[in-house]
């Protein structure tokens, strides 16, 4: 009585009439004091009114009150010994305690774990078995949240454990158990069980049919019929029709008492209406989804009460009722949806109800998808193809499954994997003998701008970003998709068959993304390239009977939106919150509308609330959109995680995410499923956000059970070589199965397309790649690519590869480096010289030794273990003193001689780099960390004080950059850099040591001036003819001061002239100019072409003129002047480098531009050799990255790099640099 009085006083003090509103006003202190009474009253209200009020109270308490206060208040209530007459009160407290704790976030549960353990002990000691049992189960859930079906009608924790289930296969074992909790709508777990079952309605049909057939519990049957009506798509009721008809026309006595015959007739009417409704004939346009979202995404559904039995009536009367109901079937079609027959039911009531029901469902394939006989993308006239004798990586069994056999492709899908009887095939079947080659699913690129950032880049086809606003969810990448992007064919030649085309990252919400297949189509349209576009694509009216498909959306945070819109992270965060709040309000209006419609409350209902601008965001809140979030740093990742929990939506993947590996626990706090992370393998440090990027990120993320995707961000990275990203990820520690999955099955799953792409399974799309080597082997290239069963390469060219490339490459051990990366938050110490050995060092198990001739610069293999059978190299004072057995030399060596096992590795000349701004920048996008650009005399005014000078790169050198140190640790110990220039006259390059800490250190500046650099480009502000004229004048002595002196040295052949030029037309003009100058000066002009994408077109002419070329290994038609590339196998027999070398052109290898790519030079060199088809040997390949560059750029005398590099491991991707041997310092730097 006192409790009730206290509660009434509390109500009066807050001027509240309804005690259910008390929690909106009560203070924390008042809550703690009155919690027992509130909870007891709450329990009675819930029981008497048959509402799910109690759970809502708990959710409110958890979301608004301090968890420690709740814990203390409820625990005190539980710990207080209860008199016999207060057992019910104590039981109520236990239920409340369970409900509150079950509602807490996992992070708070983990904080309370010690208290739970203590309570478990105390409860066991005090004989409180019920409390101890629940505490024990909660601790077990915190430690290992394994799903289970609720064991009691108050087991909310069991319901919560099922939240982790995301696929039908995971849910299937729990369906029958959940259905048993639908026997009584008054049970507390009833609504939660309904919500979980509604996520996978297709799994419920068979067990519901079994219950109806038994006909032994009419109350349960009636509840199940309500569930079918409200939550199971009409399109999959077919198997239930027989039981509907039985109940409608021959119900049991008990079923009649529960009025089940009326329910059954209503369901039959809806089935007939559905069957008569016109629908598209495409098999993939049927039914409704099987995949899931969180329970909170579902619309509020009316509580389906278990029907109360009516008094018994005579059988004759019942039979007459049934007969009348059958005869009045058409009339009931109009009346059945109105709870009161006097309402005016709208003519489209069924459409409204179907639309509202469909909002509760998340996307996925139709139930009959895997029985399809033909793909919706099948091109008529495509012949069947049988791939025989293949080594098939299916993507199954977590990426471990490999099948040796055949693959049959027909009708655009995979018909058979394994052994195919050729006698059963049609005569038109094309047979391809794989001869044991590796076969994989087509590569899937989760992050691409193919078609919207087209190649070659032209102003008329630049559709990556809109700058019309920070939030633009209504834009669609499809609307800018160019069908004439030159990159489609190139990417296919790298095995890429599917790409997710995202808008750019200029905006916080850049718009909707669309998934495409890359092959050309007979329609030649953008739409024909799409893979499972949303049904909203061709109109705003959607057939509610259709199963929805996954949509894709681009978000971006951090530097890009801030830079484009001159804002801050705070501005971007508000833009996100404002956008989601706008969408949330629309969703709430829709939910309120549908709650009335589903309850039959038609009066004043009006039209369905919707907004064309915000509908995609509303779908995001409903869990129907895969959100792809461009997000780098921990601060931005944290912002987005908070956003997901504030508005209850999931992020499919964070893209770029250079700091994601540092905050795995933060990622797991995101709403719903933990986002995947889509990353580059080694590209980083190009802006502040990327500064802490790590090559070990993929491994670290995988170790933390976070899905990893390797992506291209094409054309940032050429998606043709997306497999190279997976190769690098594997090299740096990601397991082979996960590395392959990161570009096949994992991105397919993240996009919601894993029911048809990403694996080689019967019934999947016929997207197949036949490789010339193992896909993770360096230089792996397709022999053939099939998209939708159609061969894409008309005349494939294959470069012969060593047999070893057919094996899965092993990865070096990076445990130490990985641990240090985590310890130092992405910035582990990289400084060289930490472990320098001045004494002798013995290298054992050496596979080969290559040395550079000190006079000619030529490189030759001087030692091979395969020839001699011995494998020892002794180094003293930075020089090799013995190789082979070294018996006599070793006998005189000290006993404590350091030994380094190379495990079949090599010792070879250190590499030299040219072509990136490494040495003049730390972070290329941050001007305060860089030397800056030289002024262009042709396109702008130059201050008089420097008008006659030539810029020297040596004056702006910046040492100790992370990229330089990483280059050193990967065998590039010197580099040549020219002044950064955006115009015609660049300046004088310099040679520097990558290990130097500053300019005055020994070995820092190796040669002050190397060569003179200019640029002649179609992309200049002035014409090519003007640029050539200016160059001609300077070479003919028309300059002044230093400019004149330097160009005179060039004209005399004393200083190399390096011209950055891509176009064959420009290069041809330069060759003519060279002849003019030489005719006048009678000297040989040392002309070098840098870039030279189209130089292969003039290979013979360049060879005859003695002009060298510095070029990259992987060309791309990024601009008009680069469009005529020689791509190499499988599209052409030769690569550009191989063709130039065959024409006696001296070639030097350049990196792809960014300083972070320099570290991969040894991979690029080996790749160049592997795709040259025997044109290049190992020695000639090493020269491309060392002595050739030095010769072309005028490095001479003591400036020539004499370092040697020791690698551990038999091949490039299986090896790591373990030591640098320096003649200059007379030491060995052990790395």
Whole-number Å distance between alpha carbons of 143 and 139 = 6
Whole-number Å distance between alpha carbons of 622 and 1143 = 62
In three-state form (DSSP H/G/I as H, E/B as E, the rest C), the secondary structure along 119-156 is: HHHHHHHHCCHHHHHHHHHHHHHHHCCCCCCCCCCCCH
pLDDT, mean over the chain: 87
Which residue bears the tokens 């969810």?
A: 473
Does 883 have pLDDT greater than 60?
Answer: yes
- pLDDT reported for residue 894: 78
Q: Which domain holds residue 888?
A: 836-909+1203-1231
Does 666 have pLDDT greater than 80?
Answer: yes
- φ/ψ of 743, rounded to 5, equals -125, 15
Q: What is the mean pLDDT of residues 279-288?
A: 39
Q: What is the mean pLDDT of residues 433-454?
A: 98
Contact status, residue 874 vs residue 880, Cβ threshold 8 Å: yes
Contact status, residue 831 vs residue 966, Cβ threshold 8 Å: no
Does 1216 have pLDDT greater than 50?
Answer: yes
**Tally: H helices and E strands in the chain:** 42, 37
pLDDT digits (tens, 9 = 90+) for 1116-1163: 999 999 999 999 999 999 999 999 999 999 999 999 889 999 999 999
919-1184-1178-681 Cα dihedral, nearest 10 degrees:
40
**Measuring CA to CA, how many Å separate 18 from each of 30, 38, 42, 47?**
17, 12, 12, 17
Contact status, residue 464 vs residue 449, Cβ threshold 8 Å: yes
All residues at 6 or more sequence positions from 521 whose CB lies less than 8 Å from its CB, including other chains: 379, 528, 529
Whole-number Å distance between alpha carbons of 1045 and 1043 = 6
- pLDDT reported for residue 332: 36
Q: Locate 1201 and state its tokens.
A: 């790099």
**What are the beta bridge partners of residue 882?**
874
Does 422 have pLDDT greater than 60?
Answer: yes
996 and 940 fall within a common domain: yes
Q: How confident is the model at residue 965 (pLDDT cuts 50, 70, 90)?
A: very high
Whole-number Å distance between alpha carbons of 592 and 361 = 17
- As a whole number of Å, the CA-based R_g of the chain is 36
Q: How confident is the model at residue 1183 (pLDDT cuts 50, 70, 90)?
A: very high
- pLDDT reported for residue 263: 85
Burial, 1221: exposed, middle or buried (Cβ in 10 Å; 0-12, 13-18, 19+)?
buried
All residues at 6 or more sequence positions from 821 whose CB lies less than 8 Å from its CB, including other chains: 694, 696, 700, 828
Q: How confident is the model at residue 219 (pLDDT cuts 50, 70, 90)?
A: confident
**Structural domain contains residue 493:** yes
- The neighbour count for residue 401, using CB atoms within 10 Å, is 16
**472-476, 543-547, 552-556, 800-804: range with lowest mean pLDDT:** 543-547
Contact status, residue 548 vs residue 290, Cβ threshold 8 Å: no
**Measuring CA to CA, how many Å separate 1048 from each of 945, 1011, 1044, 1056, 1077?**
21, 13, 6, 11, 11
Q: What is the mean pLDDT of residues 778-801?
A: 97
- What does the DSSP 8-state code read for residue 989? -
Whole-number Å distance between alpha carbons of 571 and 508 = 10
Q: Which CATH number does the domain housing residue 797 bear?
A: 3.20.20.140
Q: Locate 305 and state its tokens.
A: 């009460």
- pLDDT reported for residue 265: 85
- φ/ψ of 132, rounded to 5, equals -65, -40
Whole-angstrom distance between the N-terminal and C-terminal Cα of the chain?
Answer: 79
1141 and 1119 fall within a common domain: yes
Q: What is the mean pLDDT of residues 464-475?
A: 97
Does 320 have pLDDT greater than 90?
Answer: no
Q: How confident is the model at residue 833 (pLDDT cuts 50, 70, 90)?
A: confident
Whole-number Å distance between alpha carbons of 30 and 11 = 11
**129-138, 183-192, 495-504: range with lowest mean pLDDT:** 129-138
**Structural domain contains residue 490:** yes
Whole-number Å distance between alpha carbons of 475 and 850 = 57
Q: Which residue has the higher pLDDT, 123 or 895?
A: 895
**Structural domain contains residue 463:** yes
692 and 721 fall within a common domain: yes
Residue whose C-alpha is closest to residue 849's, from 876, 868, 827: 868
Q: What is the mean pLDDT of residues 324-336?
A: 34
Q: What is the mean pLDDT of residues 793-818?
A: 96
Does 990 have pLDDT greater than 80?
Answer: yes
Residue whose C-alpha is closest to residue 800's, from 1216, 1115, 1138: 1138
pLDDT digits (tens, 9 = 90+) for 723-745: 999 999 999 999 999 999 999 99
**Structural domain contains residue 729:** yes
Does 333 have pLDDT greater than 50?
Answer: no
Instruction: Let me know how long the chain is.
Output: 1231
Residue 850, preceding peptide bond in cis (omega within 30° of 0): no
Burial, 741: exposed, middle or buried (Cβ in 10 Å; 0-12, 13-18, 19+)?
buried
pLDDT digits (tens, 9 = 90+) for 12-52: 665 655 555 555 566 666 666 666 566 555 444 443 333 34
**Structural domain contains residue 403:** no
Residue ranges of the alpha helices (H) in 622-670?
A: 634-647, 664-667
1104 and 1146 fall within a common domain: yes
- The neighbour count for residue 1007, using CB atoms within 10 Å, is 21
680 and 772 fall within a common domain: yes
Q: Which CATH number does the domain housing residue 888 bear?
A: 2.30.40
**Structural domain contains residue 177:** no
738 and 863 fall within a common domain: no
Q: How confident is the model at residue 1083 (pLDDT cuts 50, 70, 90)?
A: very high
905 and 941 fall within a common domain: no
pTM: 0.76
Q: What is the mean pLDDT of residues 854-880?
A: 87
401-402-405-406 Cα dihedral, nearest 10 degrees:
70
586 and 616 fall within a common domain: yes
Say whether 1181 sits in a helix, a strand or coil: helix
Q: Which residue has the higher pLDDT, 305 or 821?
A: 821
879 and 956 fall within a common domain: no
- pLDDT reported for residue 360: 84
Does 256 have pLDDT greater than 90?
Answer: no
CA angle, residues 473, 475, 477, in degrees to nearest 5:
120
Residue 1130, preceding peptide bond in cis (omega within 30° of 0): yes
- pLDDT reported for residue 302: 37
CA angle, residues 801, 805, 808, in degrees to nearest 5:
165
Q: How many Cα atoms sit within 13 Å of 785 on the Cβ side?
A: 27
Q: Locate 1138 and state its tokens.
A: 């191989």
Q: How confident is the model at residue 91 (pLDDT cuts 50, 70, 90)?
A: low
- pLDDT reported for residue 40: 52
Q: Locate 743 and state its tokens.
A: 């570009």
Q: What is the mean pLDDT of residues 855-880?
A: 87
Q: Which residue has the higher pLDDT, 956 or 117?
A: 956
Q: Locate 933 and state its tokens.
A: 């650009």
1083 and 1154 fall within a common domain: yes
Whole-number Å distance between alpha carbons of 776 and 402 = 14
Q: How many Cα atoms sit within 13 Å of 961 on the Cβ side?
A: 29
All residues at 6 or more sequence positions from 65 whose CB lies less than 8 Å from its CB, including other chains: 28, 31
**59-73, 136-150, 863-877, 1215-1229: range with lowest mean pLDDT:** 59-73
Residue 715, preceding peptide bond in cis (omega within 30° of 0): yes
pLDDT digits (tens, 9 = 90+) for 355-375: 898 898 889 998 788 889 999
Does 93 have pLDDT greater than 80?
Answer: no
733 and 842 fall within a common domain: no
**Structural domain contains residue 171:** no
Residue whose C-alpha is closest to residue 695's, from 724, 732, 740, 735: 732
1075 and 987 fall within a common domain: yes
**94-103, 754-763, 832-841: range with lowest mean pLDDT:** 94-103
Burial track 614-650 (b if 16+ CB lie within 10 A, e otherwise): bbbbbbbbbbbbbbbbbbbbbebbebbbbbbeebbbb
Burial, 945: exposed, middle or buried (Cβ in 10 Å; 0-12, 13-18, 19+)?
exposed
Burial, 257: exposed, middle or buried (Cβ in 10 Å; 0-12, 13-18, 19+)?
buried
pLDDT digits (tens, 9 = 90+) for 684-704: 999 999 999 999 999 999 999
Residue ranges of the alpha helices (H) in 812-947?
A: 815-823, 865-868, 887-891
Number of domains making up the chain = 3
**Structural domain contains residue 349:** no
Burial track 370-389 (b if 16+ CB lie within 10 A, e otherwise): eebeebbbbbeebebbbbbe
Percent of the chain residues topping a pLDDT of 70: 82
């Amino acid at each position: 009585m006192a409790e009730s009085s206290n509660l009434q006083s509390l109500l009066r003090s807050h001027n509240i009439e309804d005690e259910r509103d008390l929690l909106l006003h009560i203070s924390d202190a008042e809550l703690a004091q009155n919690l027992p009474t509130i909870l007891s009253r709450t329990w009675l209200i819930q029981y008497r009114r048959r509402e799910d009020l109690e759970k809502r109270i708990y959710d409110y308490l958890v979301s608004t009150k301090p968890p420690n206060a709740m814990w203390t208040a409820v625990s005190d209530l539980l710990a207080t010994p209860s008199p016999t007459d207060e057992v019910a009160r104590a039981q109520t407290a236990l239920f409340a305690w369970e409900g509150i704790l079950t509602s807490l976030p996992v992070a708070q549960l983990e904080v309370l774990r010690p208290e739970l353990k203590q309570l478990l002990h105390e409860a066991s000691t005090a004989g409180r078995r019920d409390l101890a049992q629940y505490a024990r189960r909660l601790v077990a859930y915190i430690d290992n949240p394994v799903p289970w079906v609720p064991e009691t009608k108050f087991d909310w924790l069991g319901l919560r454990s099922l939240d982790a289930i995301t696929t039908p296969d995971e849910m299937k074992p729990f369906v029958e158990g959940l259905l048993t909790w639908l026997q009584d709508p008054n049970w507390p777990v009833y609504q939660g069980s309904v919500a979980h079952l509604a996520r996978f309605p297709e799994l419920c049909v068979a067990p519901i049919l079994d219950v109806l057939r038994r006909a032994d519990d009419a109350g349960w049957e009636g509840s199940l019929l309500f569930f079918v009506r409200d939550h199971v798509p009409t399109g999959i009721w077919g198997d239930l029709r027989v039981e509907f008809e039985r109940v409608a026309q021959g119900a049991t006595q008990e079923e009649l008492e529960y009025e089940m015959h009326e329910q059954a007739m209503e369901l039959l009417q809806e089935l007939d209406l559905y069957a008569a409704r016109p629908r598209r004939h495409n098999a993939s346009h049927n039914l409704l989804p099987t995949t899931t979202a969180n329970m909170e995404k579902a619309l509020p559904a009316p509580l389906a009460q278990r029907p109360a039995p009516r008094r018994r009536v005579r059988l004759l009367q019942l039979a007459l009722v049934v007969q009348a109901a059958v005869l009045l079937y058409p009339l009931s079609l109009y009346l059945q949806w109105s709870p009161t027959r006097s309402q005016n039911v709208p003519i489209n009531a069924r459409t409204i109800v179907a639309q509202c029901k469909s909002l509760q469902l998340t996307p996925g394939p139709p139930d009959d998808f895997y029985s399809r006989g033909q793909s919706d993308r099948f091109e008529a006239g495509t012949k069947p193809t049988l791939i025989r004798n293949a080594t098939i990586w299916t993507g199954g069994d977590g990426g471990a499954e490999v099948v040796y056999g055949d693959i049959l492709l027909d009708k655009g899908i995979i018909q058979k994997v394994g052994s195919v009887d050729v006698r059963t095939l049609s005569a038109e079947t094309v047979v391809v003998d794989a001869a044991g080659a590796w076969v994989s699913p087509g590569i899937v690129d989760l992050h691409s701008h193919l078609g919207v950032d087209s190649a070659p880049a032209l102003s008329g086809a630049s559709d990556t970003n809109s700058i019309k606003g920070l939030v633009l969810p209504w834009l669609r990448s499809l609307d800018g998709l160019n069908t004439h992007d030159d990159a489609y064919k190139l990417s296919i030649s790298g095995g890429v068959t599917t790409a997710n085309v995202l808008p750019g990252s200029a905006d916080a919400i850049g718009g909707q993304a669309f998934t495409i297949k890359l092959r050309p189509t007979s329609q030649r349209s953008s739409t024909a390239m799409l893979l499972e576009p949303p049904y909203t694509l061709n109109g705003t009216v959607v057939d509610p009977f259709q199963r929805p498909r996954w949509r894709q959306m681009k978000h971006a945070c951090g530097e890009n939106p801030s830079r484009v819109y001159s804002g801050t992270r705070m501005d971007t965060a508000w833009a996100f919150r404002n956008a989601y709040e706008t969408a949330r309000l629309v969703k709430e209006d829709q939910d309120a509308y549908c709650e009335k419609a589903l309850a039959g409350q038609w009066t004043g209902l009006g039209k369905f609330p919707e907004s064309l601008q915000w509908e995609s965001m509303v779908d995001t809140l409903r869990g129907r959109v895969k959100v792809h979030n461009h997000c780098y740093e921990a601060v931005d990742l944290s912002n987005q995680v908070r956003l997901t929990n504030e508005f209850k939506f999931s992020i499919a993947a964070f893209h770029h995410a250079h700091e994601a590996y540092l905050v795995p626990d933060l990622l797991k706090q995101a709403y719903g499923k933990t986002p995947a992370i889509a990353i580059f393998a080694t590209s980083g440090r190009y802006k502040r956000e990327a500064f802490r990027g790590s090559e070990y990120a993929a491994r670290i993320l995988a170790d933390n059970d976070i899905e990893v995707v390797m992506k291209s961000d094409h054309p940032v990275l050429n998606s043709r070589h997306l497999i190279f990203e997976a190769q690098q990820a594997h090299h740096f520690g990601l397991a082979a199965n996960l590395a392959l999955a990161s570009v096949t099955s994992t991105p397919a799953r993240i996009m919601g397309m894993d029911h048809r792409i990403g694996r080689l399974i019967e019934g999947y799309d016929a997207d197949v790649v036949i490789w010339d080597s193992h896909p993770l082997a360096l230089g792996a290239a397709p022999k053939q690519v099939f998209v939708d069963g159609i061969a894409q390469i008309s005349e494939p060219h294959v470069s012969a590869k060593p047999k070893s490339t057919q094996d899965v490459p092993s990865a070096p051990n990076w445990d130490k480096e990985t641990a240090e990366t985590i310890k130092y938050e992405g910035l582990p110490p990289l400084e060289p010289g930490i472990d320098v050995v001045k004494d002798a060092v013995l290298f054992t198990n050496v596979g080969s030794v290559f040395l550079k001739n000190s006079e000619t610069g030529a490189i030759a293999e001087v030692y091979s273990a395969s020839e001699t059978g011995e494998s020892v190299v002794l180094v003293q004072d930075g020089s090799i003193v013995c190789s082979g057995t070294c018996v006599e030399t070793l006998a005189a060596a000290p006993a404590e001689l350091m030994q380094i096992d190379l495990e079949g590795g090599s010792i070879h000349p250190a590499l030299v780099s040219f072509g990136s701004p490494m040495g003049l920048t730390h972070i290329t996008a941050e001007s305060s960390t860089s030397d800056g650009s030289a002024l262009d005399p042709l396109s702008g005014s130059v201050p008089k004080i420097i008008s006659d000078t030539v810029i020297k790169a040596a004056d702006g050198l910046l040492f100790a950059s992370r990229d330089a140190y990483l280059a050193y640790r990967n065998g590039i110990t010197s580099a040549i850099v020219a002044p950064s220039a955006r115009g015609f006259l660049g300046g004088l390059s310099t040679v520097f040591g990558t290990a130097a800490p500053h300019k005055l250190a020994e070995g820092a500046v190796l040669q002050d001036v190397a060569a003179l650099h200019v640029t002649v480009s179609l992309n200049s502000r002035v014409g090519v003819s003007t640029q050539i004229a200016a160059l001609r004048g300077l070479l003919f002595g028309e300059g002044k001061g230093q400019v004149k002196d330097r160009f005179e040295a060039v004209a005399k052949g004393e200083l190399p002239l390096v011209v950055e030029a891509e176009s064959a037309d420009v290069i041809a003009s330069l060759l003519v100019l060279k002849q003019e100058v030489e005719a006048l000066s009678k000297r040989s002009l040392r002309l070098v072409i840098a870039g030279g994408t189209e130089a292969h077109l003039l290979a013979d002419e360049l060879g005859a003129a003695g002009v060298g070329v510095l070029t990259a290994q992987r060309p791309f038609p990024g601009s008009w002047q680069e469009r005529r590339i020689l791509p190499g196998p499988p599209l052409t027999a030769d690569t550009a480098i191989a063709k130039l070398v065959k024409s006696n052109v001296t070639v030097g290898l350049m990196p792809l531009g960014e300083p972070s790519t320099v570290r991969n030079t040894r991979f690029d060199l080996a790749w160049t050799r592997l795709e040259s088809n025997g044109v290049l040997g190992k020695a000639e390949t090493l020269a491309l990255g060392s002595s050739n560059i030095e010769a072309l750029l005028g490095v001479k005398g003591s400036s020539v790099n004499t370092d040697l590099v020791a690698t551990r491991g038999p091949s490039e991707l299986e090896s790591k640099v373990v030591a640098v041997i320096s003649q200059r310092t007379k030491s060995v730097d052990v790395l």
